[in-house]
């Protein structure tokens, strides 16, 4: 999802009799659905994994501003412009909540930024795909925010208090994001043939990258068990992906669009759609930095950060001077 | 994930009808005599907020800090909202069936009537912040006067916008002071920005025939009457920011053909490229689903 493939640094889940008394008490709290708060004792690996996961999620929010941000000035109506602006602004807000949640674990926003810029920390693979037409604003809201919601709704019950609370605030906004995307698709498919073609093309390009957002298949997802025991991951990747497909296919049909998958078929027995997996080699390549827009996205973030240094320093220097003046007065 | 039916509710048209029915009666809107001037003046208002909103949107995702990114977007959102109101009213006054969107997106760059200052490219955050402050201070004075307009519709829009712009000016003032009196580098950048922008400020106060007609009808003040209050505020703030006010002579506007405002034809933020989607063939749909 926004946090894909997060390593826990552990070798699978250990049995109860292998845990220290502290660890056992910690696990008992989690099993009893009592939230872990920043001041509580927690295993080092739990802290580390959460920093990775929340950090990656935060980075995804702010890098995720870029593919849509570049269409704000080109939105076709004033209303659409305002809606898109509000949406991209929300994403910056999500980044902010999440960096704050990560800070409670003892890592600063600056440190996290540096890790993003050095490539040590990742963001969701989805944002390394380009947005080529206005229909992509529809597809991104509908599919990308849609996939995000699938993952984030259960995370409202995650074991770490600040993360769970950030998710509650974020989820409220995400369904608006998805609806505005779907509404763009609705108007495109009821427009000219060229507009409908644009909408179909956007779906074709975003379908498989959206499926990748849920991360590798369960059988290849080595860190899932520990994360699920800690309740920082609530469902498996495949469960969420299946749910997403089941919800999205009827929405595509309603739009009169075709999911680009010849093997997509409703399975009466399982009560699910059978569907084709995305190309996992492509997924790995994108995570490694070789997607179509990796360099551009990271480059834009680094440029914003470095170009803003004098601005942040200026504000900090003023605050310091003002504090001194207050003391002197 | 919202259900399919959730995704299809479309109350937008209904809401628009309700809003239209609630519109205040305003004799100025249908006055044929003042129509050309009133229309032109409303375009000046709407174009100014549109262009600045557009410029600020360029920062979306590229701000120097998350908080600043959010604040810039907020201001842009307010300004786009004002644009909808000003250009919407312009379309009504013109009475030729043009919507705010058509006025915003389907005119050529040379037909824009915004004040020059808001067109100046973003540059660094120094230019963006200083441009914002110099404009906000003007915008605030103007809107305050417009709340007393003899046109109830204008007064209504001004009252709504004034609430937001009071906050804009508070915020940009604060930033100018902090950055001006921050580090030597932030100080230099702010001074440089001021030096670049100062010569465009005089243009905000140029008053022509359109303004005279508006002033006579009591719809809007003549811009030259706003300069004194603007300058007093600006000098105060720049002083606190330890910045030097450039020589006043340099803010005398360059001569320009009557009613021509845009000079950045090549960098106009509403160029044919930006508005490409709406130039698509007739019948293209961009609005609600229905
Ligand atoms: Fe988000
Ligand atoms: Fe979102």
| pLDDT tens-digit series, residues B196-246 | 999 889 989 999 999 999 999 999 999 999 999 999 999 999 999 999 998
Neighbours of A159 (CB within 10 A): 23
Distance of CA A64 from the midpoint of ligand 2 (Å) = 9
Domain ranges of chain A: 16-328
Instruction: Note the pTM of the prediction, 2 decimals.
Output: 0.90
Is the distance from CB of A127 to CB of A64 less than 8 angstroms? yes
Q: What is the pLDDT of residue A11?
A: 66
Residues A121 and A54: their CA atoms lie apart, in Å, by 11
Helix, strand, or coil here: B167?
A: helix
| Least Cα separation, residue A322 to chain B (angstroms) | 9
Distance CA(B161)–CA(B154), nearest Å, equals 11
- How far apart CA B79 and CA B117 sit, in angstroms, is 15
Alpha-carbon gap, residue B35 to A27, rounded angstroms: 74
A235-239, B139-143, B179-183: segment of lowest average pLDDT: A235-239
Nearest to A187 among B177, B189, B287 (CB): B287
ipTM of the complex: 0.92
State the ligand closest to the CA atom of A60: 1
Whether the pLDDT of residue B266 is over 90: the answer is no
Query: Are the beta carbons of A243 and A151 closer than 8 angstroms?
Result: no
CATH fourth-level superfamily of B29-279: Ferritin, core subunit, four-helix bundle (1.20.1260.10)
DSSP state of A141: I
Percent of chain A with pLDDT over 70: 99
Three-state DSSP class for residue A270: coil
CA–CA distance, B139 with B114 (Å, rounded to integer)? 12
B242 reaches A (C-beta below 8 A): no
| Residue of B14 and A31 predicted with greater confidence | A31
Q: Is the pLDDT of residue A307 over 60?
A: yes
* pLDDT one-digit tens code per residue, A182-215: 999 999 999 999 999 999 999 999 999 999 999 9
* Candidates A88, A175, A186; nearest CB to B289: A186
- Distance, in angstroms, between A85 CA and closest chain B CA? 7
**Ligand 1 centroid, distance to B40 Cα (angstroms):** 41
Tokens 């704050």 sit on residue: A100
| pLDDT over threshold 80, residue B280 | no
Q: Are A186 and A139 in contact (CB under 8 A)?
A: no
CATH number of the domain at A16-328, please?
Answer: 1.20.1260.10
Which protein residues have a CB closer than 5 Å to ligand 2 (ion)?
A 145, 174, 177
Query: What does pLDDT average to over chain A?
Result: 94
Measure CA of the first residue to CA of the last residue in chain A; give whole Å: 53
Subunit contact B63:A192, Cβ cutoff 8 A: no
Residue A88 and residue B10: Cβ atoms within 8 Å?
no
CB B234 within 8 A of CB B134: yes
SS3 of residue A204 by DSSP? helix
Average pLDDT over residues B165-184: 98
Structure tokens that stand for A141 in this block: 């809201």
Interchain proximity A65–B69, CB inside 8 Å: yes
Q: Residue B257 class from Cβ within 10 Å (0-12 exposed, 13-18 middle, 19+ buried)? A: exposed
Q: Encode pLDDT of B57-77 as tens digits.
A: 999 999 999 999 999 999 999
User: Which among A86, A93, A308 has CB closest to B65?
Assistant: A308
Nearest to A146 by CA among A273, A256, A265, A241: A241
Measured in Å, residue A174 CA sits from the centre of ligand 1 at 6
Report the pLDDT value the prediction gives residue B15, as an integer from 0 to 100.
Answer: 61
Domain limits, chain B: 29-279
How far apart CA A122 and CA A52 sit, in angstroms, is 9
pLDDT band of residue B159 (cuts 50, 70, 90) is: very high
Of residues A247 and B5, more confidently modeled: A247
Whether A73 and B274 lie within 8 Å, measured CB to CB: yes
Which residue of B8, B70, B104 is in closest CB contact with A78? B104
**Residue B144: how many other CB atoms lie within 10 Å:** 17
Higher pLDDT, B20 or A231: A231
B77–A317 CB contact, under 8 Å: no
Q: What is the pLDDT of residue B290?
A: 26
Instruction: Indicate whether B272 pLDDT > 80.
Output: no
Retrieve residue A219's tokens: 């059988």
Instruction: Looking at the complex, report in whole angstroms how far the Cα of residue A96 sits from the nearest Cα belonging to chain B.
Output: 7
Which residues on adjacent β-strands are paired with residue A160? A36
| Nearest-5° Cα angle at B113, B109 to B115 | 110
Specify whether the CB–CB gap between A56 and A127 falls below 8 A: no
pLDDT at B283 over 80: no
Spatial distance between the Cα atoms of A55 and A328, rounded to a whole number of angstroms: 40
Hey, how many other C-beta atoms are within 10 angstroms of the C-beta on B18? 10
């Amino acid at each position: 999802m926004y946090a894909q493939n997060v390593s826990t640094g552990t070798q699978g889940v250990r049995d109860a009799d292998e845990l220290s008394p502290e660890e056992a008490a910690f696990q008992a709290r989690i099993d009893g659905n009592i939230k872990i708060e920043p001041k509580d004792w927690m295993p080092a690996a739990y802290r580390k994994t959460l920093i990775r996961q929340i950090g990656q999620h935060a980075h995804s929010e702010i890098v995720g501003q870029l593919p849509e941000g570049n269409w704000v000035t080109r939105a076709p109506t004033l209303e659409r412009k305002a809606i898109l602006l509000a949406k991209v602004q929300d994403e910056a807000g999500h980044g902010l909540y999440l960096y704050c949640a990560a800070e409670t674990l003892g890592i600063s926003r600056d440190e996290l930024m540096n890790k993003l810029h050095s490539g040590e920390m990742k963001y969701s693979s989805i944002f390394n795909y380009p947005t080529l037409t206005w229909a992509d604003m529809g597809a991104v809201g509908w599919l990308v925010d849609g996939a995000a919601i699938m993952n984030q709704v259960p995370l409202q019950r995650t074991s770490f208090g600040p993360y769970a609370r950030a998710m509650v605030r974020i989820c409220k906004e995400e369904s608006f994001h998805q609806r505005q995307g779907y509404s763009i698709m609705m108007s495109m498919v009821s427009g000219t043939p060229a507009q409908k073609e644009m909408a179909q093309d956007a779906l074709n390009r975003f379908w498989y990258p959206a499926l990748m957002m849920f991360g590798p298949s369960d059988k290849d997802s080595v860190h899932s068990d520990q994360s699920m025991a800690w309740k920082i991951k609530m469902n498996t990747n495949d469960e969420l992906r299946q749910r997403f497909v089941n919800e999205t296919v009827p929405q595509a049909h309603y739009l009169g669009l075709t999911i680009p998958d010849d093997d997509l078929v409703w399975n009466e027995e399982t009560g699910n759609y059978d569907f084709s997996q995305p190309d996992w080699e492509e997924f790995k390549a994108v995570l490694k930095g070789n997607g179509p827009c990796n360099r551009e996205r990271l480059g834009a973030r680094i440029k914003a950060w470095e170009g803003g240094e004098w601005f942040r320093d200026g504000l900090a220097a003023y605050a310091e001077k003002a504090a001194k003046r207050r003391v002197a007065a | 994930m919202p259900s399919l039916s959730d995704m299809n509710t479309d109350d937008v048209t209904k809401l628009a009808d309700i809003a239209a029915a609630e519109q205040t009666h305003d004799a100025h809107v249908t006055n044929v005599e003042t129509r050309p001037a009133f229309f032109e003046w409303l375009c000046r208002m709407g174009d100014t907020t549109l262009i600045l909103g557009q410029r600020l949107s360029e920062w979306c995702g590229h701000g120097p800090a998350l908080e600043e990114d959010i604040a810039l977007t907020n201001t842009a959102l307010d300004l786009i909202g004002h644009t909808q109101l000003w250009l919407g009213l312009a379309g009504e006054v013109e009475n030729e069936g043009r919507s705010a969107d058509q006025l915003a997106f389907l005119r050529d760059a040379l037909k824009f009537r915004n004040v020059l200052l808001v067109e100046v490219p973003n540059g660094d955050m120094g230019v963006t912040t200083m441009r914002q402050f110099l404009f906000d201070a003007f915008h605030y004075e103007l809107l305050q006067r417009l709340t007393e307009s003899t046109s109830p519709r204008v007064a209504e829009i001004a009252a709504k916008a004034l609430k937001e712009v009071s906050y804009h000016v508070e915020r940009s003032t604060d930033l100018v002071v902090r950055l001006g009196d921050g580090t030597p580098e932030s100080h230099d950048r702010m001074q440089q920005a001021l030096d670049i922008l100062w010569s465009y400020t005089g243009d905000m106060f140029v008053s022509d025939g359109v303004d005279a007609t508006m002033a006579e009808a009591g719809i809007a003040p003549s811009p030259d009457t706003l300069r004194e209050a603007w300058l007093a505020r600006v000098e105060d703030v720049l002083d606190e920011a330890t910045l030097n006010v450039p020589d006043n002579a340099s803010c005398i506007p360059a001569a320009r053909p009557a009613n021509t405002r845009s000079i950045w034809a090549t960098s106009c933020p509403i160029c044919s490229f930006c508005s490409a989607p709406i130039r698509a063939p007739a019948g293209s749909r961009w609005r609600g689903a229905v």
